Amino acid sequence: MNNKIKEFRARYNLTQEDLAKKVNVRRETIVFLEKNKYNPSLKLAYDLAQVFSVNIEELFIFENLNENE
Stated length of the chain: 69
What does the pLDDT read at residue 1?
A: 83
**Number of other CB atoms surrounding residue 7 within 10 Å:** 12
Q: What span, in angstroms and rounded, lies between the C-alpha atoms of 62 and 25?
A: 22
Tell me the CATH number at 26. 1.10.260.40
| Range(s) of the domain holding residue 37 | 2-58
* pLDDT confidence of residue 41: 96
Judge whether 25 lies within some domain.
yes
Number of domains within the chain: 1
| pTM for this entry | 0.87
* Domain contains 69: no
Q: What is the pLDDT of residues 20-68, one digit of tens each?
A: 999 999 999 999 999 999 999 999 999 999 999 999 999 999 876 565 5
Residue 64 within any structural domain of the chain:
no
Flag whether 10 is in a domain.
yes
